[in-house]
């Protein structure tokens, strides 16, 4: 299956824990073409644990980058507003 506009979506589910899904441009987890729980279980082998840990790190990094981008855009708009007056 080919995705034209892939987007990674994360969510917390009450029974399945943290979920990550890949959609075709949608922001809703219900539209996910691929869906996986990233809860690290005791029965996971080392390769699966490593994979899920990497996903945890990437989602945290992604949230950090989103916040940082919003902060920088706010500063950019403030500076732009000052330059225009």
- Position 84 scores a pLDDT of 45
d(C-alpha 74, C-alpha 67), whole Å: 11
Indicate the DSSP class of residue 21. E
- Position 80 scores a pLDDT of 65
Mean pLDDT estimate for the chain? 78
* Total Cβ atoms within 10 A of residue 70: 10
Residue 48, token pair as written in the block: 């699966």
Q: Give the contacts of 62 (CB within 8 A, at least 6 positions apart).
A: 8
On the question of pLDDT at 35 being above 50, the answer is yes
d(C-alpha 9, C-alpha 32), whole Å: 8
pLDDT digits (tens, 9 = 90+) for 10-31: 788 787 777 888 888 888 888 8
Query: What pTM, to 2 d.p., does this model score?
Result: 0.51
pLDDT digits (tens, 9 = 90+) for 44-85: 889 888 888 887 787 777 777 778 878 877 877 776 655 544
- Position 26 scores a pLDDT of 83
Instruction: Find how far residue 41's CA is from the centre of its chain.
Output: 21
């Amino acid at each position: 299956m080919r995705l034209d506009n892939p987007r990674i979506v994360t969510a917390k589910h009450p029974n399945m824990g943290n979920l990550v899904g890949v959609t075709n441009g949608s922001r809703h987890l219900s539209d996910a073409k691929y869906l996986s729980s990233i809860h690290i279980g005791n029965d996971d082998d080392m390769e699966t644990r490593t994979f899920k840990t990497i996903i945890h790190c990437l989602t945290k990094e992604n949230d950090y980058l989103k916040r940082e981008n919003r902060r920088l855009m706010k500063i950019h708009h403030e500076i732009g507003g000052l330059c225009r007056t």
